[in-house]
Amino acid sequence: MPTPFQNAVYAALKRVPRGRVTTYGALAHRVGCRSARAVGQALKRNPYAPKVPCHRVIASDLAPGGFMGRRDPPAMRRKLKLLAKEGVRFQAGQLAEPRRLFAFPG
Q: Where are the domains of the chain?
A: 4-91
Tens of pLDDT, residue by residue over 21-74, are 999 999 999 999 999 999 999 999 999 999 999 999 999 999 999 999 999 999
What's the predicted TM-score (pTM) here? 0.96
Tens of pLDDT, residue by residue over 91-101, are 999 999 999 99
CATH, range 4-91 = 1.10.10.10
Active site residue 33: no
Q: How far is CA 44 from the centre of its chain?
A: 10
Q: Which of these is catalytic: 43, 54, 58, 88? A: 54
